[in-house]
Amino acid sequence: MTLPMIRIKDLSKFYDGSMAVDSLNLEVNKGELFGLIGPNGAGKTTTIKMLCCLIKPTKGTAIIDGIDILESPLKIKEKIGYLAEGSHLYEDMSVRQYLSFFSELYEIEREVAWERMEKYLRDLNILDRIDSKIGNLSKGMQRKVGIVRALLNEPKILIFDEPTTGLDPITAHFVRDFMKSLVKKGRTVLMSTHYLHEAESICDSIAI
Protein backbone atom coordinates (compact mmCIF):
# COMPACT_ATOMS: atom_id res chain seq x y z
CA MET A 1 0.00 0.00 0.00
CA THR A 2 1.40 3.39 -1.04
CA LEU A 3 1.50 5.96 1.73
CA PRO A 4 0.10 9.42 0.99
CA MET A 5 2.63 12.15 0.25
CA ILE A 6 0.81 14.45 2.70
CA ARG A 7 -1.28 13.23 5.62
CA ILE A 8 -2.92 15.91 7.78
CA LYS A 9 -4.15 14.75 11.18
CA ASP A 10 -6.43 16.92 13.36
CA LEU A 11 -4.49 20.03 12.33
CA SER A 12 -5.69 23.12 14.19
CA LYS A 13 -4.62 26.71 14.67
CA PHE A 14 -6.05 29.27 17.07
CA TYR A 15 -5.12 32.94 17.35
CA ASP A 16 -6.03 34.62 20.65
CA GLY A 17 -8.94 32.24 21.07
CA SER A 18 -10.12 32.70 17.47
CA MET A 19 -10.23 29.54 15.37
CA ALA A 20 -8.39 29.73 12.04
CA VAL A 21 -8.20 25.98 11.30
CA ASP A 22 -10.16 23.39 13.27
CA SER A 23 -9.23 19.68 13.28
CA LEU A 24 -8.41 19.38 9.59
CA ASN A 25 -7.89 15.84 8.27
CA LEU A 26 -7.00 15.01 4.68
CA GLU A 27 -4.57 13.06 2.51
CA VAL A 28 -2.76 14.02 -0.69
CA ASN A 29 -1.41 11.16 -2.77
CA LYS A 30 1.92 11.11 -4.56
CA GLY A 31 1.74 12.51 -8.08
CA GLU A 32 -1.58 14.23 -7.46
CA LEU A 33 -2.81 17.76 -8.12
CA PHE A 34 -4.85 18.50 -5.02
CA GLY A 35 -7.11 21.52 -4.58
CA LEU A 36 -7.80 23.12 -1.21
CA ILE A 37 -10.92 25.20 -1.76
CA GLY A 38 -12.60 27.84 0.35
CA PRO A 39 -13.51 31.53 0.49
CA ASN A 40 -11.10 34.17 1.74
CA GLY A 41 -10.64 33.78 5.49
CA ALA A 42 -11.43 30.06 5.48
CA GLY A 43 -7.97 29.09 6.76
CA LYS A 44 -6.35 27.96 3.52
CA THR A 45 -3.26 30.14 3.90
CA THR A 46 -2.92 29.25 7.58
CA THR A 47 -3.05 25.56 6.67
CA ILE A 48 -0.41 26.01 3.99
CA LYS A 49 1.88 27.93 6.34
CA MET A 50 1.64 25.11 8.88
CA LEU A 51 2.48 22.53 6.20
CA CYS A 52 5.49 24.62 5.14
CA CYS A 53 6.61 24.93 8.78
CA LEU A 54 6.27 28.72 8.76
CA ILE A 55 3.92 28.64 11.76
CA LYS A 56 3.31 25.93 14.35
CA PRO A 57 -0.09 24.29 14.77
CA THR A 58 -1.94 24.70 18.05
CA LYS A 59 -2.67 20.99 17.93
CA GLY A 60 -2.50 18.11 15.49
CA THR A 61 0.23 17.56 12.93
CA ALA A 62 0.98 16.55 9.35
CA ILE A 63 3.23 13.88 7.90
CA ILE A 64 4.91 14.93 4.65
CA ASP A 65 6.80 12.27 2.69
CA GLY A 66 7.10 10.27 5.90
CA ILE A 67 8.35 13.17 8.04
CA ASP A 68 6.41 14.83 10.87
CA ILE A 69 6.29 18.62 10.50
CA LEU A 70 6.71 19.03 14.27
CA GLU A 71 9.79 16.83 14.48
CA SER A 72 11.88 17.86 11.46
CA PRO A 73 10.81 21.24 10.03
CA LEU A 74 14.12 21.80 8.22
CA LYS A 75 13.81 18.49 6.37
CA ILE A 76 10.25 19.41 5.43
CA LYS A 77 11.41 22.71 3.93
CA GLU A 78 13.90 20.82 1.75
CA LYS A 79 11.07 18.77 0.26
CA ILE A 80 8.65 21.62 -0.46
CA GLY A 81 8.60 24.40 -3.01
CA TYR A 82 6.28 27.15 -1.73
CA LEU A 83 4.63 29.97 -3.63
CA ALA A 84 2.96 32.47 -1.33
CA GLU A 85 -0.20 34.29 -2.32
CA GLY A 86 0.78 37.43 -4.20
CA SER A 87 4.38 36.20 -4.59
CA HIS A 88 6.06 39.06 -2.59
CA LEU A 89 9.29 39.28 -4.60
CA TYR A 90 12.24 41.65 -4.16
CA GLU A 91 11.28 44.25 -6.73
CA ASP A 92 14.63 46.09 -6.82
CA MET A 93 16.46 42.95 -7.96
CA SER A 94 16.66 41.63 -11.49
CA VAL A 95 15.22 38.18 -12.12
CA ARG A 96 18.76 36.78 -12.39
CA GLN A 97 19.85 38.39 -9.09
CA TYR A 98 16.73 37.22 -7.29
CA LEU A 99 16.99 33.60 -8.39
CA SER A 100 20.76 33.54 -7.81
CA PHE A 101 20.19 34.83 -4.28
CA PHE A 102 17.81 31.98 -3.48
CA SER A 103 20.07 29.45 -5.18
CA GLU A 104 22.81 30.45 -2.75
CA LEU A 105 20.41 30.11 0.18
CA TYR A 106 19.61 26.59 -1.04
CA GLU A 107 23.37 25.96 -1.42
CA ILE A 108 22.98 24.97 -5.05
CA GLU A 109 26.17 24.97 -7.13
CA ARG A 110 26.30 27.94 -9.48
CA GLU A 111 26.36 25.95 -12.72
CA VAL A 112 23.53 23.70 -11.56
CA ALA A 113 21.53 26.72 -10.42
CA TRP A 114 21.94 28.40 -13.79
CA GLU A 115 20.84 25.26 -15.66
CA ARG A 116 17.69 25.09 -13.53
CA MET A 117 16.99 28.81 -13.88
CA GLU A 118 17.37 28.66 -17.64
CA LYS A 119 15.18 25.56 -17.94
CA TYR A 120 12.28 26.82 -15.84
CA LEU A 121 12.40 30.39 -17.14
CA ARG A 122 12.22 28.95 -20.66
CA ASP A 123 9.40 26.58 -19.68
CA LEU A 124 7.47 29.58 -18.36
CA ASN A 125 8.29 31.76 -21.41
CA ILE A 126 10.17 34.47 -19.49
CA LEU A 127 13.84 33.64 -20.15
CA ASP A 128 14.13 36.85 -22.19
CA ARG A 129 13.31 38.86 -19.04
CA ILE A 130 16.10 37.41 -16.91
CA ASP A 131 17.91 40.76 -16.60
CA SER A 132 14.75 42.82 -16.11
CA LYS A 133 14.06 44.39 -12.75
CA ILE A 134 11.28 42.45 -11.04
CA GLY A 135 9.41 45.64 -10.18
CA ASN A 136 9.08 46.38 -13.89
CA LEU A 137 7.44 43.05 -14.69
CA SER A 138 3.72 42.43 -14.97
CA LYS A 139 1.93 40.63 -12.18
CA GLY A 140 1.75 37.49 -14.30
CA MET A 141 5.48 37.53 -15.00
CA GLN A 142 6.23 38.09 -11.33
CA ARG A 143 4.09 35.08 -10.46
CA LYS A 144 6.08 33.00 -12.94
CA VAL A 145 9.35 34.14 -11.34
CA GLY A 146 7.94 33.04 -7.98
CA ILE A 147 7.17 29.62 -9.45
CA VAL A 148 10.75 29.30 -10.73
CA ARG A 149 12.07 30.16 -7.26
CA ALA A 150 9.84 27.45 -5.77
CA LEU A 151 11.34 24.92 -8.20
CA LEU A 152 15.03 25.77 -7.76
CA ASN A 153 15.75 23.10 -5.15
CA GLU A 154 13.88 20.48 -7.23
CA PRO A 155 11.33 19.69 -4.50
CA LYS A 156 9.10 16.63 -4.56
CA ILE A 157 6.12 18.71 -3.43
CA LEU A 158 4.88 22.08 -4.64
CA ILE A 159 2.49 24.09 -2.49
CA PHE A 160 0.93 27.07 -4.26
CA ASP A 161 -1.30 29.53 -2.39
CA GLU A 162 -3.88 31.07 -4.76
CA PRO A 163 -1.50 30.81 -7.76
CA THR A 164 -3.90 32.30 -10.33
CA THR A 165 -5.57 35.01 -8.26
CA GLY A 166 -5.29 38.43 -9.90
CA LEU A 167 -3.85 37.11 -13.16
CA ASP A 168 -5.25 37.80 -16.60
CA PRO A 169 -7.12 34.83 -18.15
CA ILE A 170 -4.31 33.86 -20.55
CA THR A 171 -1.62 33.81 -17.85
CA ALA A 172 -3.93 32.01 -15.41
CA HIS A 173 -4.56 29.32 -18.03
CA PHE A 174 -0.82 29.01 -18.65
CA VAL A 175 -0.11 28.59 -14.91
CA ARG A 176 -2.80 25.91 -14.63
CA ASP A 177 -1.31 23.99 -17.54
CA PHE A 178 2.15 24.30 -16.02
CA MET A 179 0.94 22.84 -12.72
CA LYS A 180 -0.58 19.92 -14.60
CA SER A 181 2.73 19.38 -16.41
CA LEU A 182 4.56 19.20 -13.07
CA VAL A 183 2.23 16.42 -11.93
CA LYS A 184 2.75 14.51 -15.18
CA LYS A 185 6.48 14.59 -14.41
CA GLY A 186 5.92 12.98 -11.02
CA ARG A 187 5.61 15.95 -8.67
CA THR A 188 2.89 16.34 -6.08
CA VAL A 189 1.10 19.70 -6.17
CA LEU A 190 -1.21 21.15 -3.53
CA MET A 191 -2.88 24.40 -4.50
CA SER A 192 -5.37 26.60 -2.72
CA THR A 193 -8.05 28.50 -4.57
CA HIS A 194 -11.39 30.16 -3.97
CA TYR A 195 -12.46 29.30 -7.52
CA LEU A 196 -14.43 26.03 -7.40
CA HIS A 197 -14.62 25.78 -11.19
CA GLU A 198 -10.83 26.08 -11.40
CA ALA A 199 -10.25 23.24 -8.94
CA GLU A 200 -12.84 21.02 -10.60
CA SER A 201 -11.26 21.55 -14.01
CA ILE A 202 -7.63 20.71 -13.17
CA CYS A 203 -7.41 18.90 -9.81
CA ASP A 204 -7.36 15.15 -9.27
CA SER A 205 -8.87 15.58 -5.78
CA ILE A 206 -10.32 18.48 -3.83
CA ALA A 207 -11.17 19.36 -0.24
CA ILE A 208 -13.63 22.09 0.71
Share the mean pLDDT of the chain. Answer: 94
For 109-150, the three-class secondary structure string (H helix, E strand, C coil) is CHHHHHHHHHHHHHHCCCHHHCCCEHHHCCHHHHHHHHHHHH
Q: Report, as an integer, the average pLDDT of 31-60.
A: 94
pLDDT for residue 1 is more than 70: no
Q: Report, as an integer, the average pLDDT of 11-25.
A: 92
pLDDT for residue 21 is more than 90: yes
Q: Which amino acid is at 39?
A: P
pLDDT tens track for 169-184? 999 999 999 999 999 9
As a whole number of Å, the CA-based R_g of the chain is 17
pLDDT for residue 197 is more than 70: yes
User: What is the distance of C-alpha 102 from the center of its chain?
Assistant: 15
Q: Report, as an integer, the average pLDDT of 118-143.
A: 96
Q: Which of 149, 155, 157, 167 is nearest to 191 (CA)?
A: 157
pLDDT for residue 38 is more than 90: no
Q: Which domains can be identified in the chain, with CATH numbers? A: 6-89+142-207 (3.40.50.300)
The pTM assigned to this predicted structure is 0.93
CB count within 10 Å of CB 47 equals: 26
